[in-house]
């Protein structure tokens, strides 16, 4: 999940620190430490989050030559988890505080092969061109519950990546988008695997990691 989950209607300018000296909390996942501010989304079940990111890592099948495009990157959890296995990771999210946290997290963990940019992924072509972001070999998307914007679906269907990893907290919108992606790609991508992860035991809610391979 990312910094955009559920939408953001909080006014960052109205934040007040009531006690202590830090305006953020820290969470450890594996060997990484993440800074999380009030408006930045983070997984509510850290133990299962680590299992989720392990599944993303397996699905991405990265090599040291791969450039990864991490869309809806939030505080950089997925992108930073993939950085050690790739040449470079570029993360994009619309939430300014999430991108600030992502950059701080990269520095705190001494990870240099990452770039985080703020941008509206409903207009992905303009965002990528404006930032001068190179073509990616692997794309990871972790959208809000509503799923992917039609413009982003079109971009993904036409991209030159060898693999797309779609992480979702809503299997209904994920299945819809996977079907649309295959249709729009006109045979260039096919779903090769779907792996659910139980993030909230004793509830019907799961995260799901789907992989589309170029054929």
pLDDT of residue 72: 95
Given the structure tokens 């909390």, which residue do they identify? 25
Residue 57 assigned to a binding site? no
Strand ordering across the sheet containing 207-214: 114-118, 88-93, 67-71, 138-141, 163-168, 207-214, 189-197
Every domain of the chain and the residues it spans: 22-214
Alpha-carbon gap, residue 210 to 193, rounded angstroms: 6
Residues 82-99: b if buried by 16+ CB within 10 A, e if exposed: bbebbebbbbbbbbebbb
Confidence of residue 20 (pLDDT cuts 50, 70, 90): low
63-110 pLDDT per residue, tens: 999 999 999 999 899 999 999 999 999 999 998 888 998 999 999 999
The torsion region of residue 137 among left (phi > 0), alpha (psi -120 to 50) and beta comes to alpha
With beta carbons less than 8 A apart as the criterion, state whether 161 and 214 touch: yes
The C-alpha angle 58, 122, 4, rounded to 5 degrees, equals: 60
Instruction: Please state which CATH number belongs to domain 22-214.
Output: 3.40.50.150
> Among 152, 157, 169, 185, which one carries the catalytic annotation?
169
Q: Could you give the angle at which helices 171-185 and 150-158 cross, rounded to 10 degrees?
A: 50
Residue 66 assigned to a binding site? no
pLDDT tops 50 at residue 122: yes
Record the tokens describing residue 56, joined without a space. Answer: 């993303």
Is 169 known to be catalytic? Answer: yes
Residue 189 assigned to a binding site? no
When the pLDDT of each residue in the chain is averaged and rounded to a whole number, the result is 86
Residue 198 assigned to a binding site? no
């Amino acid at each position: 999940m990312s910094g955009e989950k559920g939408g953001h209607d909080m006014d960052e300018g109205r934040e007040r620190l009531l006690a202590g000296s830090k305006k953020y909390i820290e969470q450890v996942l594996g060997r990484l430490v993440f800074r999380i501010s009030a408006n930045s989304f983070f997984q509510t079940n850290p133990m299962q989050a680590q299992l989720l990111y392990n599944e993303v890592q397996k699905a991405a099948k990265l090599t040291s030559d791969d450039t990864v495009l991490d869309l809806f990157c939030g505080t950089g959890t997925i992108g930073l988890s993939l950085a050690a296995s790739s040449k470079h990771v570029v993360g994009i999210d619309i939430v300014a505080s999430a991108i600030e946290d992502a950059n701080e997290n990269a520095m705190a963990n001494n990870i240099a092969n990452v770039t985080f940019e703020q941008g509206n992924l409903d207009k992905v072509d303009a965002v990528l061109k404006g930032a001068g972001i190179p073509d990616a070999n692997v794309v990871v998307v972790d959208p809000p519950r509503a799923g992917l914007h039609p413009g982003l679906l079109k971009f993904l269907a036409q991209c030159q990546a060898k693999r797309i990893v779609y992480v979702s907290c809503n299997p209904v919108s994920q299945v819809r988008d996977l079907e649309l992606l295959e249709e729009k790609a006109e045979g260039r991508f096919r779903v090769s695997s779907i792996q659910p992860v139980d993030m909230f035991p004793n509830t019907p809610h799961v995260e799901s990691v789907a992989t589309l391979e170029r054929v």
